[in-house]
Amino acid sequence: MNPKNKTENLHNELKILHEKLRQDTKNNWDRVLPFEEMLFDRWDKAKFLKAKNGSSVYENCYVYGKVSIGKNTWIGPYTILDGSGGKLTIGDYCSISSGVQIYTHHTVMWALTKGKASYQKKSVSIGDGCYFGPNAIVSMGSKIGKCCVIGANTLVRSKIPDNSIVYGTPGKIVGKVEVKGNNVNLVYFDQIKNNENKK
């Protein structure tokens, strides 16, 4: 068989496999996913990364350097976990939404000096029970406490205390998280202020 026919046969086999996996995924999970996500198991990727039990990492998550992932943590698609500039530690029961980028280094000084300055590097830590909205960015050196909400499109570049709600660019603490057993109350400072003004 000539190389062209081999390529065509392989392409046809892949198309058949793709159609079968797509239909199975739709039937079983009511989802339509990219081919690679149907081919590879996200729990296996988490195990390969030595994440603790129950965690999953989507296939199209980019992982660099030293990254530690706790148990029952969900790392969504199109994310970047950069532990190349220091250790990146993510706690238990975290939810890292699609498009989130977490960095332990940057190349600003290197680029501005045309390669004369070194890369800047610092570790990042994220506590247990944190939620990150889509496309949030965490800069090197950030320390995020437990039970925090980091809103969509938020830029974190500092220390965030436990039970904080953070929104904006740069991220600002706009509220607090109250957890009592299975109940969660998100309290926003502007709501407290409005309630006080009504009195």
pLDDT digits (tens, 9 = 90+) for 73-123: 999 999 999 999 999 999 999 999 999 999 999 999 999 999 999 999 999
Confidence (pLDDT) at 90 = 98
- State yes or no: cis peptide before 34, omega within 30 of 0: no
d(CA 30, CA 23): 9
Single pTM value for the model: 0.90
Handedness of CA 110, 113, 118, 122 (dihedral sign): negative
Residue 128: CB atoms within 10 A of its CB come to 18
pLDDT higher at 124 or 5: 124
Percent helix, percent strand, percent coil in the chain, to nearest 5: 25, 35, 40
The predicted model gives 162-166 an average pLDDT of 98
d(CA 23, CA 7): 24
Q: Give the chain's largest Cα–Cα span.
A: 84
